[in-house]
Amino acid sequence: MFKGYLKKREHAKKSAERMYKELSNQSVEHFYNIENDDEKKISTITLDLTEGDVYKPYSNQTMLSDDIFDFLEESFKLAKKTYDIHLVLIVDERMDENEIEKIKKLIYFHYAVKHTEIKKELRRTKFVGLALLITGMMTYCIYGLLQWFKINFIFQEVIEIFAWVFIWESCDQFFFVTFGKRIEATRYLLLFESKISIEKSNRKNIVIR
């Protein structure tokens, strides 16, 4: 029974990996509306702004809907990380040029802010990691001195545990947390540097601009 369960899990894992590879090669009409052009080394993400609300409620049209950025970042997962990003926005043909430019600027502004925030978080993470490392080393020095002078202190083992906890937390901050934040920073930077082009749609045909 257990072997059957493991076999089933392994089959599911391989199916998921196979589907991911298939999705990565799908054309713009499928799933996440993303196309990876291996010749030009460009990943194109198509976003249809005629399908939902463009702006956040109560923002007086100064902030784009979170759904837009959620879609872009989900689609980005299937982009080739070494390729340039090209965003194609499909808008209603009645939308004027000023509003189109505003939407483009809001997208760039969003990812500029996100990238700046994550860089600040990285600096804070490094500072916290360094503080934890110093605290752990000092705590371990206290433990070492107690051992050296053979002082029978009732909380001696507790001090050793605290020292290792601080050291481990510093490693976690320096390596694991920092690694994740660096990936986020790269994603936001690539989306900020993306080229944005517009397609106008009347729902019957699309005029490429």
Domain presence at residue 37: yes
pLDDT tier, 208 (very low <50, low <70, confident <90, very high otherwise): very low
- 57 belongs to a structural domain: yes
pLDDT, one tens digit per residue, over 112-126 is: 999 999 999 999 999
Residue 4 lies in a domain: no
User: Do the domain assignments include residue 141?
Assistant: yes
Give residue 123's domain range: 32-208
Q: pLDDT digits over 32-91, tens only?
A: 578 888 899 999 999 999 988 999 999 999 999 999 999 999 999 888 888 999 999 999
Asked, for residue 182, whether it belongs to a domain, the answer is yes
DSSP string, the chain: -HHHHHHHHHHHHHHHHHHHHHHHT--TTSTTTEEEETTTTEEEEEEETTSS--B-TTSTTSSB-HHHHHHHHHHHTTS-TTSEEEEEEEEETT--HHHHHHHHHHHHHHHHHHHHHHHHHHHHHHHHHHHHHHHHHHHHHHHHHHHHTT---TTHHHHHHHHHHHHHHHHIIIIIIHHHHHHHHHHHHHHHT-EEEEEEE-SS-EEE-
Domains identified in the chain, total number: 1
